[in-house]
Structure formats: C-alpha cells, structure tokens
Structure 1
C-alpha cells in the first residue's frame, strides 16, 4: 500500500513539473512576441536562463520517471 502511495506521489510530481514547464513555455512565447513592440520586456535575458533550467528539470523528470517505472515493473 505504501509503495503504491509513493508511486502516485512521484507520478503527481512528474505531472506538476510537466504542467509548470508548459505554462512557462506559453508565458515565454508571449514575452518573446512582445519583444518587438514599443515597450519590450526586460526579462528576456533572465528568462533564457530559467528556460534552460526548466528544460533540464523536465528532461530529468522524464529520465527519473522512466527509471522509476523500469525498476518497479521488473
């Protein structure tokens, strides 16, 4: 029972990371679209760093969940 509960928590964490990454990508698309306007945003240099961090977190979550399923199913 505890193992299934832990598995559900890991899956929920993975889904949350995926959701956050998706929202961040949408937000960045809007900011980049506004970059050519009269009042461009000043957050793009910081946003590029954050985008890389979110991307790496997303890749790490994919790898972790894959390994987690592989270990629990074998």
Structure 2
C-alpha cells in the first residue's frame, strides 16, 4: 500500500504530536496510515553521513505515538 503523495506540511501543526490532536487533513491522513502499520522500513538517501533532514525528519517529527515501540529498518 502506498501512502504517497501526502502533502505533509513542514511542522505546521499548532500542537505537539504527542497530543494526537492534528488540525490539518494531510497530517491526519499520514497519522492514520502510519498507525495501521506494525513495522516500518525507511529507504532514504544519505546526506553527510546521515538522513536528509528536511523530508525525513519532518515525517518522523509529525507523529509520536504511532512510531513508539515499533520495529524499524533504516536503509540508505
């Protein structure tokens, strides 16, 4: 199942992701898709020996409870 494209805004939610009170439709859609999964595989380009800060960090920072305690594989 593909979730893209979801036009996830750049940290535009007024509240903290921990509260799970998303006001924007793209953030709610992203939360629902991620919440259904039981494990995650991130395939991302390497930039200066790390992940690309803008897109990947934005997606990770938009959610909190959805990522908590779930297995993750990082491939770059």
TM-score tier (shorter): under 0.3
Larger radius of gyration: 1
Give the structure with the larger strand fraction.
2
**Higher share of residues assigned helix:** 1
